[in-house]
Amino acid sequence: MSSEAPATAPSAATAGGGAGTGTGRSSRGGRGGGGGIRRRGQQRQGARNFTSNGDKRVRSDHGAAGRGGSGGRGRGGRSDKKNTRTSQRSIQQYTSDFLSMHSQCQAARYKVHAPGCSCSKMKAARERVAPGQQPFGPSKNQDVAVTKPTLDGLVVLPDTKNIQSVYLCLDTSYHAFQSNPEDAERKLYDELFSGNESADDDGQPYKVSCAQCLLTDKPNGFVCVSSPSAQTVEFARDLARKRIRYKKAEQIALHSDHSEHVVVVPREVLWKYETAKTRDQSNKAEYALRDGLSKQGVEHAVGEEAHRCEIELGHHLVSLLHITKNDVDKDLAYWLVMLQWTGTKYQVDLPGGKRHLGESSWEGATRECEEECSLQIDPSWVHGEPRKSSRKADMSNLYYLLRPPADLMLESLESNPFWHEKGFCKE
C-alpha cells in the first residue's frame, strides 16, 4: 500500500464555511463567521477521515470544514456570541426601597463601596449601567467638560459572583462624601435598615459591611487591655465578668458573638505559643497557656479532656503580637483576651470587629467590645496611639491599647468593705 499523501483542502470553501479556505495543516475557517477552528483532537479526527478515491485519499468535508457547514466554533463566531450574551445582561439600579432589591437578589451579604471606587466589581457595574463611560473622580483639567458620572454616590453591591442589581444612595456624591463622610454613611444606613428594626441585630436577614475603599481612612477597630501589672488587667477582666453576671441575672440575652471566657494571659506566653519552632518549645508554651487558662475557670484546658480541646490564636491577636514585637515592655505585658468555643477548639482573640456605616473606628471597637465580652470602655481607657499593621492583608484594622483609668480603679477599691479598716494597704 502506498504511503498517505499530505492532506489537501478542497479548492473552494464549503457552503456554510464562510470566507475561509481552510488550506494547509490547520484548515482554519474565516474569522468573520467562517469555518471553525479544529482543536488538536479534531485535527487528528479530520486527518483520519479519508475516503478512498482510486489511488488517492481525499479528506472528507467534515474534516475540512471543522464542525460542518455552520462554521462551528470559529474565533469570530465564539467571541461574537460571548459579546452578545454579555450585552444582553442588564443590571437593575435601585435608588430607594432597599428591601425590594434584597427580595429580588436574595443575597446574604452586601458590600458598600465609596463614591469613585475603582475596584473590579465597581468597574464592571458601571460598564453595565452605562457602557463606554469613563471612570470618574476629581477632574485634573478644569477646561475639559466632565459628563455626569455613573453611580456617583455610595453604592451597595451584593457580595455574589453574578451581580444583577445595585443600590445607589442619592445625595452622597463624590464631593458630598468627601466633605462629610459620616453623614453620607448614616444616610445610607437609615435607608438600608428602615422598616427592618431587627436588621442590625442577631435576627438580621442580611449583613452589610464596608468594602476596602471605605476602610482606608476609617478602619475596623479592635481593643487590647494591656499593662505590665497583672492586677490592672485582672481588674478589667473582673469588670467584664461582673457585667456578664448582671446580664444573666436580669435575663438580658448575650450577643450571638459573645465569648465563652474573658481571661488574662501574659503576652510572652502568647508570643512563644505563636513562634514556637520545635516540638519542645511548642509543648512548653502550650502547657503554660493551658495552665493559665485552667486557673481562670476555662474547662478542658488541662486534664484528661485536654487532648480534645485544641487552642488556636486568632488572626487579630497574632497581628498585634507582631506589631508589638519591638516594644520595650513586650515581655512584661499582660493582655486581656477572649475565648470563643467553635465546637472542637478554643480560639483566642481580641475583642473588636467590623465597623458599621456611620461609625468611627473607635465607636465600632467600643460596640464590639461590649457585644463580645461585655466590657464597657470609654476614651479615658486609651493608652497611647492606636497601632496599625504594615501588612497589606491587615491594613484595614486599627488596634487600640487600653488601660483602666486610675480613678475607676480607685473607685472600685473604695467600694471594698475593707477599705476603711485599719491596716488595709492603700498603696
Mean pLDDT over 390-394 rounds to 84
What proportion of the chain, given as a percentage, has pLDDT over 90?
53
- pTM over the 0.85 mark: no
pLDDT-derived band at 89 (thresholds 50, 70, 90) equals: low
Q: How confident is the model at residue 344 (pLDDT cuts 50, 70, 90)?
A: confident
Q: Confidence class of residue 199 from pLDDT cuts 50, 70 and 90? A: very low
Ranges of H-type helices in 263-419? 267-275, 279-294, 315-323, 361-373, 406-414
Digit-coded pLDDT (tens) for 213-268:
999 999 999 999 999 999 999 999 999 999 999 999 999 999 999 999 999 999 99
Helix spans in 49-157 (H): 61-64, 75-88, 98-105, 120-129
Rounded CA separation 72/244 (Å): 70
The pLDDT score that the predictor gives to residue 229 is 93
Most confident of 39-53, 147-161, 368-382: 368-382
Amino acid at 25: R
Residue pair 169/153 in contact (Cβ under 8 Å)? The answer is yes
Q: H or E element: which one contains 183? A: helix 181-193
**What tens digit of pLDDT does each residue of 96-123 get?**
889 989 988 889 999 999 999 989 999 9
SS3 category, 247: helix
Residue 422 confidence class, pLDDT cut points 50, 70, 90: low
> Is residue 353's pLDDT more than 80?
yes
Q: What is the pLDDT of residue 148?
A: 54
Q: Is the pLDDT of residue 341 over 90?
A: no
Q: How confident is the model at residue 410 (pLDDT cuts 50, 70, 90)?
A: confident
pLDDT for 131: 66
Average pLDDT over residues 141-166: 76
